[in-house]
Amino acid sequence: MTETLLKIDASARMQGSVTRQMTMDIVEQLQPANTLNRDLAEAPLPQLSETWVTANFTPSDARTQAQRDVLALSDALIEELTQAETIVIGLPIYNFGVPTALKAWIDLVARAGVTFRYSENGPVGLLEGKRAIIAVASGGTPVDSQIDFATPYLRHALGFIGITDVTVIAADALGQGAEEKQAAAQEAIAALAA
C-alpha cells in the first residue's frame, strides 16, 4: 500500500474531465494512507520570471529574504514530491503537448541541486525510488505516436528528476471509439492494485 500519494490534476475542465476521473479512480484503487492534492487549474502556478531565475541561481546561503520568498512555492511543490512515494498525474493532451499549467509545475520542480544535479556524466535525478502513474486522455492524439509530444516529454521530465518507474494509462484518441478506450483505461486502473 502507498503511504503518501501526490495527485496532480492539470485539466482546465472541472466537470467532465476524463483525466480528473482517471486520477480519482487511481487514488481509489491504490487506497493510500495519505493523499496530497495539487490542482493546477484551480490554483494556477506562475510562469518562471527573471526574478525567480536569479533567486534560483543564487547560492542558498546568499539569498535575500525576498529571493527565499520567490522560491517558497517551488520549495513547497518539491516538498510535496519528496513526501510522496507515488505521484499520479492527470495529463490531458492539448494541441499535441502538455497543458501550460503542467509545464509551469515542471519548471518549478526541476531545480539543479535540489531535484537533480549535474555530474561528469550528465544530469542525475535526485528523487529516486518513487513511482509515477500518468493518466493520459486525448481527443485525437494516440499516445506515443509521432504527434504525441506530451507523454514522452512528461516521461522524460520525470526521469530527469529521478522518477523512472513510470506507468502510462491512456484513454487516447477518444474522438474514435471513446467507450472502448475508456473501458480499457479502467481495466488498466483496476490492474494497478494487483
- What pLDDT score does 177 carry? 84
122 beta partners: 119
* CA pair distance 38, 73, nearest whole angstrom: 12
- What pLDDT score does 193 carry? 79
- What pLDDT score does 2 carry? 72
CATH of the domain at 69: 3.40.50.360
Split into its structural domains, the chain has a count of 1
- What pLDDT score does 1 carry? 58
- Give residue 59's domain range: 4-193
With a cut of 50, list the residues of the chain below it in pLDDT. none
- The pTM (predicted TM-score) of the whole model is 0.95
Q: What is the pLDDT of residues 13-56, one digit of tens each?
A: 999 999 999 999 999 999 999 999 999 999 999 999 999 999 99
Q: Is the dihedral of CA 48, 71, 110, 58 positive or negative?
A: positive
